[in-house]
Amino acid sequence: MCSSDLAAWLKGELDARSAELREVRAEASLALSSAERSREEARALVASKTHLLEASEERRSNAERAQTSAEASLRDARVSAASATAALEADLAALVKANNCGPILIRLSWHDAGVFSDGNLKGGCPNAALRFTDGGEGAFGANAGLPEFANGLLKDITDKYCPAVCSVADMWALAANVAIKEMGGPDVPTKFGRKDAASSSDSVESQVGRLPDGDKGIDHLRDIFHPKGFTDEDIVALSGAHTVGSCHIDRSGFEGPWTEEPLKFDNTYFTEMMSKTYKPEETSKGNPQNRSESGTIMLISDLALLTDDAFKVHVERYAKDQAAYFKDFTAAWVKMQELGYKL
């Protein structure tokens, strides 16, 4: 090979190697660019995932703070409600002490709830309907004196706490239970949730067949109380509420206290019923009742508890065991106060 041919061959080889080098460099540059893009994409993906994680963590933290705040608000609300209820109880206790009105508070709650029936008659519930005096339950003869008391001595407490803390019907239930405790009786639990009547039209149609009459006997008591879901034992226990209070001639047509200490809630109603002798008499209103030598009375419906063994056995038991009476009374009384509701 001559020198010119050698030079041409070498030049060709050099050009070829240069071209290959350029291709390698181009491929390397392309690979580097691709790697850089991948790295940037990876960085972006990491940044995105990090942002999502941080956002998720922030949402979790916010949710935890919201839950903590809600729980604190609920605790505060419960504390506030408990404080308000405690204040209401204190005001009711002061009312009972200042006015010796415990018995009428029990009667108010009894007659508010006691109109309920689930027998031939239906409906009725504790709804404070008898506070209305234009008709309905507020005009029932059995409720004589109750609207005046509810709208009089109880008015300031009602205005202060109802409906901000509870309904009027709830307050009447609580008032009776505070009165029972203040007079020495059991500590009766009170649940809220009763709804107040909007007017007298929310009353039941009549007291007949719903509230007991004092001049009737055992059959009448069963006719009144069994449709409410009460047993014979319940009837005797509830009758024991007559251990406090007195009959007033201008309200019921009967006259006199049942026990020697009508402001003390205990089992004396039963012990006196078992130990005293009662003579029948007629009140100035022409109503029959029975009076002892000490001046205490028993209505026909009271002494009827001794005429039926299914009732008398509980009278005897409660006369001997006040704790048993308190236990059974509490159960029956709570049932009475919650008639028509699931509190």
Cα 110 from Cα 43, distance rounded (Å): 77
> Helix or strand or coil: residue 290?
strand
Question: Residues 110, 172, 258, 333: which is the catalytic one?
Answer: 258
Cα 106 from Cα 212, distance rounded (Å): 15
- Please provide residue 323's backbone torsions phi and psi, each rounded to the nearest 5 degrees: -60, -40
Question: Residues 111, 172, 314, 333: which is the catalytic one?
Answer: 111
Active site residue 258: yes
Contacts of 153 (CB under 8 A, 6+ apart): 95, 99, 101
Active site residue 172: no
Helices 309-320 and 322-337 pack at an angle, to 10 degrees, of 120
Cα 258 from Cα 248, distance rounded (Å): 12
Q: Is the peptide bond preceding residue 163 cis, with omega within 30 degrees of 0?
A: yes
Residues tagged active-site: 111, 258
